[in-house]
């Protein structure tokens, strides 16, 4: 994976994307579920809404999502159109691709597109001692994992890394999260929450945005370096019954039986009666998940660095 490959994937994904700001009185929901958008060019164009955009439409109109999804098409259209007319003075940002709407956002939302994020990160880190470990580009999220070739513990084959995240459709801020890469089994341990950098979709100039990203990346790499040390220390913390601990953690998180079995298999592949052994079992099992689910499981594993077991 290199920067050129990332650029090409983003360009391909951007094909036929569009944005449109409009007010509620220019919108009408049809009984088919499609949204008719009066764009000033003759007959209204009809667009299907993604599941995510449908949820956002409900949130904007203050309609309970589970209740809305149970309604027949005719009733959905009646409820939507009543509220759109009631809120006709409000403006919205519709983010679309071809003939479907992928996000239904407030007009105040400031979009930081994936292309802008990737270009900013490349300009800041493209010439550094950095390896691109992984790149995930899906309908709702982008994640880019970068590993430092300088912040390493060679004896344990651990490297510090950062994960850049973005959502073009309002599912989260621009984020930079620290993680630890364990080379022998290609595991990642992501530590989120207060140790991460998050930048809301608010307006900044290109220079201000680049400056804030640079500060965030620098800080998170420092955090990732300290996490390498913390992860090594987990070898020294005994866990008397790791398999029972794994079972308890999996039950608390309501993980599927299939995944629980994979975590147990991950532990048995490298059995160690320590906190390290438990954490490593989850990160090892996470490799078999789809990209977004894997990241969520790696974040969960990150919480086990300091959690009571």
pLDDT at site 187 = 81
b/e map 276-309, b = 16+ CB within 10 Å: bbbbbbbbbbbeeeeeeebbebbbbbbebbeeee
CA distances from 243 to 129, 272, 305 (A): 39, 10, 17
Q: For residue 147, what are the β-bridge partners?
A: 131, 161
| Crossing angle for the helix pair 242-252 and 257-269, to the nearest 10 degrees | 150
What whole-number distance in Å separates Cα of residue 138 and Cα of residue 121?
Answer: 19
Per-residue pLDDT of 187-199, as tens digits, reads: 888 887 666 787 7
User: Which residue in 90, 97, 100, 79 sits closest to 35, CA to CA?
Assistant: 100
DSSP letters, 169-180, are: TSS--EEEEEEE
User: Which residue in 184, 152, 146 sits closest to 165, CA to CA?
Assistant: 146
CB 270 within 8 A of CB 277: yes
What whole-number distance in Å separates Cα of residue 214 and Cα of residue 206?
Answer: 12
Per-residue pLDDT of 136-173, as tens digits, reads: 999 999 999 999 999 888 888 899 999 999 999 999 88
Half-sphere exposure of 160 (CA within 13 A, CB side): 21
pLDDT at site 198 = 79
Under-50 pLDDT residues of the chain: none
What whole-number distance in Å separates Cα of residue 120 and Cα of residue 266?
Answer: 37
pLDDT at site 196 = 74
């Amino acid at each position: 994976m290199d920067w050129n490959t990332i650029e090409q994937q983003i360009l391909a994904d951007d094909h036929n994307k569009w944005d449109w700001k409009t007010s509620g009185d220019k919108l009408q929901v049809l009984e088919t579920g499609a949204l008719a958008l009066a764009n000033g060019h003759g007959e209204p164009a009809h667009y299907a809404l993604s599941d995510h955009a449908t949820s956002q439409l409900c949130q904007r109109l203050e309609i309970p999502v589970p209740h809305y999804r149970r309604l027949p098409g005719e009733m959905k259209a009646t409820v939507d159109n009543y509220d759109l007319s009631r809120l006709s003075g409000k403006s919205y940002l519709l983010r679309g691709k071809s003939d479907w709407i992928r996000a239904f956002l407030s007009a105040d939302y400031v979009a930081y597109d994936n292309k802008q994020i990737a270009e900013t990160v490349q300009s800041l880190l493209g010439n550094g001692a950095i390896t691109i470990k992984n790149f995930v580009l899906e309908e709702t999220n982008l994640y880019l994992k970068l590993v430092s070739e300088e912040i390493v513990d060679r004896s344990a084959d651990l490297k510090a890394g950062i994960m850049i995240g973005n959502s073009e459709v309002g599912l989260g801020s621009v984020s930079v999260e620290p993680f630890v890469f364990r080379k022998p089994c290609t595991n990642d341990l992501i530590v989120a929450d207060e140790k991460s950098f998050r930048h809301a979709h608010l307006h900044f100039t290109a220079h201000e945005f680049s400056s804030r990203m640079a500060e965030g990346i620098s800080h998170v790499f420092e955090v990732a370096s300290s996490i390498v040390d913390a992860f090594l220390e987990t070898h020294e913390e005994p866990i008397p019954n790791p398999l029972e601990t794994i079972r308890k953690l999996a039950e608390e998180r309501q993980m599927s039986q299939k995944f629980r079995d994979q975590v147990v298999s991950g532990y048995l592949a490298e059995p160690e009666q320590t906190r390290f052994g438990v954490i490593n079992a989850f990160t090892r099992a996470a490799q078999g998940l789809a990209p977004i689910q894997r990241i969520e499981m790696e974040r969960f594993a990150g919480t086990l660095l300091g959690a009571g077991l």
